[in-house]
Structure 1
């Protein structure tokens, strides 16, 4: 199958224009059906009037026509209608009335089809506009990275000039023998500043290149494929509406059978994929290549190479960037996975609605589906940018960060004089945007100094070891057009499964660990504050409770109790106290609320806390009900409380 993302690179604006034209065509055809309905309604009214006038005239002449002007015996008008001719005339007039009524009914049917087609076109037109706005947004985001690279280049050039000036002053001081130490110190500071500026510039180049590459290799192809899916839906909805109208007109008039049968047969021959192949044939560019990557440019008047600096100050800055990038990826990966599962569920729901229109309108689902895919694309760009920084930093300082204890800085307003832990200058009355504090260890610094602070937090956790390489997220094998290039994260293309799948269930906050749960220390930990406990690497500990703040309450083999960082403990062998998906109290405290839902599909429970569903059965909701969790509902069956996907049910009072 041809993919727009592969065959039509960098043609988002053209595809948006085509999608808009398709919706305009659907609107015009809806107007045509509305005008045809008005014509049928006018015809029905005029035919009814003609039939009524003919019946009145016939009734005035029925006796004379049936029995003559002067019959030998008295006869009523109703008796006169018993003649075979009058019976035939009565049948003809009745047939004419029926034709008028059928025309009025056809007008209502065509109006219904027209309204549905026009409403769908309006919805899809809004989707096209939102997709176009999102394309403009991601393009602006890519250009922002280019702008940041330009700014970093300017700062780098400026620092090079300042370093050269400091060097000249140092040489002059050495020649005069005056203020040599001060000049040397100034030169060293200028050199450190230049090295940091250079590293920042190189990182900005890497980020800009990665953002550019991700834009052309992932974001644009994904947007193209989604517009291709919208094309398929638009074509299917248009063909469905026109085919329905043709069927109504075919049933209305037998005399139009041949023409309307041809119309229905022609509708069956509409092939959206063939139309798309044709479009590609006349729009495919023969010579196109991705813009070349940006390369390092040395500062004017200052000789340097593109290698990153490895001084002590530079290594600290790079280590902080590395830790921050990895932490950001750790935040983004589960969000992206959740968004992907949400998109897969919506895609299955849309396919189910297309398969059976009685379940719902697929246009409504398409809007939510594309929202989820756009959010996924934006998050994947952030991951790609973080990966670029990680690669650059690891290339200089290496993979090992086992000795790092990163600070957890937060903005803070200092109302009393406080010393910056790095530059030793006083902070007082500085706004929270410009001053930071690590609350676990109490370290304070300027925001501008954060990148230079060594990651040696006294209360910090050691970072989790991550193998060298890029972050990889799982993908659904059902998406035929999903793209993967190396470690790139791509927006899933739209597929057409047969049924809505259960959404990813949100995991509630960790519960208190069950008594007698155990774990093994991955690292040694020395207590730094009151309430903590010292342990050795490899030591077995008993887990008492999780305070939900990154710390576990444990008891050592010697009987000492206290807190240790959660990331220091291997709990893989510890017994689970409570299922991670349903709070322990929920299974016993949830009560029926008297409201019921009807199961739309059969559903087989995947976990112990889920309920089986049988299509058509009634299930009573608990008080949490349809608001239990994102994509999940909670109910009661045979006295047992459990959860099930919301997309598999509908309220009992909703027809």
Structure 2
């Protein structure tokens, strides 16, 4: 068995600190039993020695009285003096030997206390204290690991909360009207950027947690287990040393028991320190091997469908660029510190092996120097584990960002921010909001003077121009403030409407409002024109939300936003196309097929093409399409005028159309030609919340009856039953 490789707890038992610690603790506690054995054995030897001494004294006294009588008789003719008979001399030697044996047993009893029992007591205290240090170290490692797990759960909770808040802001955007929509949209965009940052934090924390977890199970815990193994084997070696000493004492004191002591000595020699370890491993190793706990994976929010990909839009890249810059700055120092501490640990381990070889060559004697070396190795491993955890976390952060964004920090020039307390009103150069508070609520770049909120620091692009003088800083400050002075600057970046016809489809969402409003601002050059357009847009939205008259009344459902057609702005009066015959809508009509348009009740339209089989082609604003002829009334020619519905009447009209107003249009003429069926299939699972909705499983197929009208819902048919499903949960086949 000497040729076999020695066992290693850290490599073979992995996550088994508790059973190993309990086993080592039991071995150390066992030292107390061995100590008790030698103390009781010492008492027995003391009693035996005392009895032998009394016995020798009593018979010395008897012998002195009978020496002459037994040597020369009671009445000798010549006094023998000091001479004794051969028998008495032998008897005297026997009693003297008994007295010497008594002294040997007394010395043996004393040695058992001082050299065995007291030594075991010291070893018990020393090893138990060292084991407790291992226990504290493991608890600290476990606490650090659990703290990272907790941080992951907090980050996940923050991500869910941010997603929930984002969903709320999205609903507000869809429910807002007129002047309130840009503000709601801005809040939604800001929340979207915040959600991306929180998500990125969650993903980074996820990878960091996995890295910390891997280090815990493959580096930290194995090191502690190996140290516990060294402690236990050192304990066994120390006990062997005490047993050998006891055996040698008894061999010297009790020659008659030398054969038995030699046999015991041989048995002790065969008790190699690692044999106990081999047996423990054999009885504690799982049959199917140890399995590492699975890695943590990205869990999408239950209210926000997302993937496990790092968000790399412009705002997120800025945040990631700042994140990786900070991580790399700290990573250099941590790598240097880790390498230094690793070399220290390796040096102490080499010294430990040298001391162990020296101890074995000296007959297994455990020295205080070896014990101190073991303690230093454990302390070094503890310090290395703490620094290495930070290094692993930073390297994981950098690798995660670079895998998603490449060399994002290649041409970055990060700002050198420092905490600042502003004594005068100051605006954030990023969000242009006031920085409130005096207790270091803001950040200022030491080079270029960029001011921002502490919360905005990570969202500032890494484009610092470098150190500037006061004049240059002031000029740059004016440019930044002027850039944010006009609240609609961002709208001008969106494409303007070119006046072409816009079809009604799901792409006409809230973005359409910003696009058309921006176009009006660019054409008119004033905020007043934008307000007028928004009012007209609201009117259109309200009147076009009524259910289709060509089909049965759709089931009641939540309305998340006006139909997209409501967001198509009319042309200003100075750009209106030439008028034709005008007509007035007697009833509200919602488009039910290709080529049709939705128009609200009372809306004036221009007839483009007269009646053709029960349908008339009309133009409503910039949109042209078919409406039922019975739904319109031709008007007498009148001067061109532009009417804008009041917000109140528009909202009331929309409310009536949504809830199924009292006015109903006449029957619609048959469609011209058969309509081709459009099929859709579910791309996500969905659980119906009302009786008017379908349950869906991924892959389920339906017939599309009506596409998303801007409310976020589509009407589908399955087995002759028509119900509603979320429009973004299905996809055309």
TM bucket, shorter chain: 0.5 to 0.7
Residue number in structure 1 paired with 2:379 = 371
Distance 2:447 2:37 in 1: 70
- Whether 1:6 aligns to 2:11 is yes
Cα distance in 1 for residues equivalent to 2:378 and 2:413: 40
Match of 2:27 among 22, 45, 63: 22
Structure 1 residues 528 and 412, CA gap change in structure 2 (3 angstroms): closer
- Aligned-pair CA distance for 1:324: 2.8
- Specify the alignment match of 1:605 in structure 2: none
Pairing 1:378-393 to 2, within 5 Å after superposition: 378-393=386-401
In the alignment, which of 99, 103, 106 is matched to residue 104 of structure 1? 106
Task: Please give the per-residue CA displacement for 1:69-99, whole angstroms capped at 9, x wherever unaligned.
Answer: 22223444xx134x43333233223322321
Partners in 2 of 1:366 and 1:423 — Cα distance?
A: 57
1:401 aligns with 2:409: yes
Mean CA deviation greater in 404-413 or 284-293 = 404-413
How does 1:570-609 map onto structure 2 within 5 Å? none
2:487 counterpart residue number: none
Deviation at 1:17, TM superposition (A): 0.7
Q: Residues 46 and 105 of structure 2 are in contact (CA less than 8 Å); yes or no, is this contact kept in structure 1? A: yes
CA contact (8 A) 1:417 1:428 kept: no
Distance 1:401 1:114 in 2: 67
TM-score calculated relative to the size of structure 2: 0.57
Consecutive unaligned residues in structure 1, runs of 5 or more: 460-525, 530-655
- Aligned equivalents of 2:420 and 2:73: distance in 1? 111
- Look up the match of 1:313: 315
Instruction: Verify: 1:54 aligned to 2:70, yes or no.
Output: no
Q: Deviations over 1:530-583 (max 9, x none)?
A: xxxxxxxxxxxxxxxxxxxxxxxxxxxxxxxxxxxxxxxxxxxxxxxxxxxxxx
Could you tell me whether the CA contact under 8 Å between 2:447 and 2:468 is conserved in 1?
A: no
Rounded Cα–Cα distance in structure 1 between residues aligned with 2:135 and 2:270: 31
Partner of 1:71: 76
| 1:13 CA drift (Å) | 0.7
Structure 1 residue 429 corresponds to structure 2 residue 438: yes
Task: Give the count of matched residue pairs.
Answer: 456
The answer to whether the 8 A contact 1:243-1:267 is kept is: yes
Aligned counterpart in structure 2 of residue 452 of structure 1, from 459, 467, 484 = 459
Paired position in structure 2 for 1:293: 295
2:159 aligned residue = 156
Contact 2:412 2:463 in 1 (8 A): yes
Which residue is equivalent to 2:38? Answer: 33
Q: Is the 8 A contact 2:435 2:452 kept in 1?
A: no
Distance in 1, Cα, partners of 2:89 & 2:420: 98
TM-score by length of 1: 0.63
**What is the rounded CA distance, in whole Å, between the counterparts of 2:416 and 2:367 in structure 1?**
49
Q: Give 3-state SS (helix, strand or coil) of 1:80's partner.
A: coil
How far apart are the structure 1 equivalents of 2:74 and 2:420? 111
Partner of 1:116: 119
- Per-residue CA deviation, residues 40-83 of structure 1 (Å, 9 max, x unaligned), is 2232232222222222222222222222222223444xx134x4
> Using the alignment, how far apart are the partners of 2:355 and 2:102 within structure 1?
36
Judge conservation of contact 2:237–2:366 (CA < 8 Å) in 1: no
Aligned twin of 1:144 = 147
Q: Please give the per-residue CA displacement for 1:605-651, whole angstroms capped at 9, x wherever unaligned.
A: xxxxxxxxxxxxxxxxxxxxxxxxxxxxxxxxxxxxxxxxxxxxxxx
Kept after mapping to 2: 8 A contact 1:44/1:103? yes
Shift of 1:14: 0.7
- Highest CA radius of gyration, 1 or 2? 2
1:168 paired residue among 163, 171, 174: 171
Q: 2:281 matched to which residue of 1? A: 280
Contact 1:411 1:435 in 2 (8 A): yes
Specify whether residues 318 and 122 from structure 1 end up closer, same or farther in structure 2 by C-alpha distance, changes over 3 A only: same
User: Residues 237, 427 of structure 1: CA spacing in aligned structure 2 closer, same or farther, 3 A cutoff?
Assistant: farther
Q: CA deviation at 1:3?
A: 2.5
Cα deviation per residue 1:235-294 (whole Å; 9 max; x = unaligned)?
211212112211111121111111110111111111233332222222211234222222
Distance 2:92 2:444 in 1: 97
Matches of 2:191 and 2:183, distance apart in 1: 12
Secondary structure, in 3 states, of the residue corresponding to 1:51?
Answer: helix
Per the alignment, residue 521 of structure 1 pairs with none
What does residue 205 of structure 1 align with? 206
Counterpart CA distance in 2 for 1:435 and 1:129 is 47
Structure 1 residues 122-133: aligned runs within 5 Å: 122-133=125-136
Shift of 1:328: 3.0
Residues 39, 177 of structure 1: CA spacing in aligned structure 2 closer, same or farther, 3 A cutoff? same
Shift of 1:144: 1.7
Aligned partner of 1:523 in structure 2 is: none
| Mapping of residues 258-269 of structure 1, within 5 Å | 258-269=259-270
- Residues 457 and 35 (structure 1 numbering): CA distance in 2 closer, same or farther, change over 3 Å? farther
Return the alpha-carbon distance in structure 2 between the equivalents of residues 183 and 19 of structure 1: 65
In 1, the alpha carbon distance for the partners of 2:25 and 2:354 equals: 25
Counterpart mapping for 1:155-234 below 5 A: 155-173=158-176, 176-234=177-235
**Residue pair 1:214, 1:381 contacting (<8 A) in 2 also:** yes
Q: Quick one: distance in 1 between partners of 2:122 and 2:232? A: 16
Rounded Cα–Cα distance in structure 1 between residues aligned with 2:207 and 2:41? 61
Residues 266, 435 of structure 1: CA spacing in aligned structure 2 closer, same or farther, 3 A cutoff? farther
Distance in 2 of aligned mates of 1:359 and 1:38: 29
How far is the alpha carbon of 1:358 from its aligned partner? 8.5
**Aligned equivalents of 2:189, 2:219: Cα separation in 1:** 43
Take 1:447 and 1:89, find their aligned partners in 2: how far apart are those partners? 103
Instruction: Tell me how far apart the structure 2 counterparts of residues 292 and 376 of structure 1 sit (CA, whole Å).
Output: 25
Residues 443, 216 of structure 1: CA spacing in aligned structure 2 closer, same or farther, 3 A cutoff? same
Distance 1:446 1:232, change over 3 A: farther
SS in 2 for 1:162: helix
Pair 1:135 & 2:149 matched: no
- Alpha-carbon distance in 1 for matches of 2:285, 2:276: 14
Match of 1:43 in 2: 48
Match of 1:360 in 2: 368
In 2, the alpha carbon distance for the partners of 1:271 and 1:4 equals 17
Paired residues of 2:435 and 2:442 also in contact (CA < 8 A): no
Structure 1 residues 359 and 226 mapped into 2: Cα distance closer, same or farther (>3 Å)?
closer
Q: Residues 351 and 362 of structure 1 are in contact (CA less than 8 Å); yes or no, is this contact kept in structure 2?
A: no
Matched, 1:322 2:330: no
Partner SS for 1:393? helix
SS of the equivalent of 2:368 reads: coil
1:199 is displaced (CA, Å) by: 0.5
Root mean square deviation, CA, Å: 3.0
Equivalent residues of 1:419, 1:427 under 8 A apart: no
Q: 1:543 maps to what in 2?
A: none
Q: Cα 1:341–1:54, aligned 2, differ >3 Å: closer, same or farther?
A: farther
**Which stretch shifts more, 415-424 or 331-340?**
415-424
